[in-house]
Amino acid sequence: MKTKTVFSCQSCGFQSPKWLGKCPDCESWNSFVEEDYASPQVISKGRTNLDLPQEEPVLIKDVHIKEEDRLKSGIAELDRVLGGGLVPGSVVLIGGDPGIGKSTISLQFSHQLMRAGAKVLYVSAEESVTQTKLRAQRLGIGQGERLYIVNQADLGVILEFIRKLKPDLVIVDSIQVISDSRLTSAAGSVSQVRECAATLARFAKGTNISIFIIGHVTKEGTLAGPRVLEHIVDTVLYFEGERFSSYRILRAVKNRFGSTNEIGVFEMGTKGLCEVENPSQIFLAQRPTDVSGSVVISVLEGTRPILVEVQALVSKTGFGYPLRRAEGFDYNRLSLLVAVLEKRIGLSLETEDIFVNVAGGIKVEDPAADLGVAAAVASAFRGKPVDIDVVLLGEVGLAGEIRSVSQSILRINEAQKLGFKRCILPKNNLKGLDLPKANTIKLEPVATLKEALDLLGIN
């Protein structure tokens, strides 16, 4: 086979004819490795040997889609993240750090789908059949007639098994150990991972079999990360959460069949992952009372509002340059809010170290969190606690104004459900707000950050 070499970024798949220290695409350092590159002609010639199913063109009006076609696992958190169940013929990528629970959730998902009547093939390429059986035993699942398992890493053989078995769902655990024998590069290299995933994706489309691809996120490792695959698959789910905390967040970052940014919250226990039905309650469970720098905000994750606690700590800079640290919140956004607090409110934060943390390991990107973060910093700086029953909503502008947020009614309802008594929100959000009759939460509209801090008694 005629091959030449290229250098590929192990993080995002960017290719270059020469070695680069920093990837111009994803900006990761020292991520380029040399690989054999099979030219497209070589690959496409080989592909026809795989005998992929061919589809005839049809009229688009003759294509019928029924909502009930979606396979529902009954794991509500997962079904919602998928956009209401698994679409037949779709390809889903589950990415995440090693040990976060990708194999566990996939096995649980397989079992649930089997119980719902689907035939499932679990390709356990990383672990032996016995290891997976042990895990299934631990989870108390796997007793059924339609859940098959095989330990196989060769793509051609796997496709042959799928053709014979005709399952509704195939789990490939994980893509980094699968290899296509027609390519010369090693399993786990960018070209192997990309080609195998692309073949699987085309196979899924042609046969209407859904495929779950598991991929490890790697920063420095030698294996190609799932970012290489994002454009090949229909749905990308990422498992987040700190390894040593029991909570896991499954987030849809791409979904051709549902909304993105939808999250599912799980707790890892002794019997696998359990759904967390009311995440707000958990994120607020360990909230300290009567401590400065702690406020509650309402962030929208996909279609669901979640209440989380933001904590700030402000302390005198011991030496030279003041520190700013943000965990779960954008660092640049924090710098901007600190500048607004200095200029518009008059807080002298230039000689203070500032630490902000969103409790529970959740990452907040919603601009509605601004007001809460600014209030937490102000509260910590003044040493005055914020009332425990207040929720804050609002985006902060550079002039210190509070800008409206999306879906305020959902957020207010969630706060009310959890017993909050006051909600400080942007004035503009009050217009045309359709509140339910049994309204026990007091809405306090504000136009500026100063007004909000006055209402909280921390200005």
**Residues 206, 52 contacting (CB under 8 angstroms):** yes
Of ligand TYD, Mg ion, none, which one does residue 138 interact with (CB within 5 to 8 Å by kind)? Answer: ligand TYD
Min dist. Cβ of residue 100 to Mg ion (A): 9
Q: How far is CA 416 from CA 298, 341, 349, 355, 436, in A?
A: 11, 29, 34, 29, 11
Nearest CB to ligand TYD, comparing residues 121 and 141: 141
Nearest CB to ligand TYD, comparing residues 104 and 210: 104
| Interaction site with ligand TYD (CB under 6 A) | 96, 98-104, 135, 138-139, 268, 270-272
Q: Which residue is nearest to Mg ion (CB)?
A: 103
Min dist. Cβ of residue 416 to Mg ion (A): 41
- Give CA–CA dist 171/390, Å, rounded: 45
Min dist. Cβ of residue 216 to ligand TYD (A): 7
Give the Cα-Cα-Cα angle 59, 64, 70 (nearest 5 degrees): 140
Neighbours of 27 (CB within 10 A): 11
Min dist. Cβ of residue 239 to Mg ion (A): 11
Length of the chain: 459
Q: Which residues contact 297 (CB under 8 A, 6 or more apart)?
A: 307, 308, 309, 310, 364, 368, 369, 371, 372, 373, 391, 392, 393
Of Mg ion, ligand TYD, none, which one does residue 304 interact with (CB within 5 to 8 Å by kind)? Answer: none
C-alpha atoms less than 13 angstroms from C-alpha of 31 in its C-beta half-sphere: 24
**Residues 262, 251 contacting (CB under 8 angstroms):** yes
User: Which amino acid is it at 359?
Assistant: A
Of ligand TYD, Mg ion, none, which one does residue 139 interact with (CB within 5 to 8 Å by kind)? Answer: ligand TYD
Nearest CB to ligand TYD, comparing residues 99 and 206: 99
Min dist. Cβ of residue 122 to Mg ion (A): 11
Nearest CB to ligand TYD, comparing residues 93 and 299: 93
| Interaction site with Mg ion (CB under 5 A) | 103
Nearest CB to ligand TYD, comparing residues 139 and 388: 139
**Residues 113, 234 contacting (CB under 8 angstroms):** no
Min dist. Cβ of residue 214 to Mg ion (A): 7
Nearest CB to ligand TYD, comparing residues 23 and 147: 147
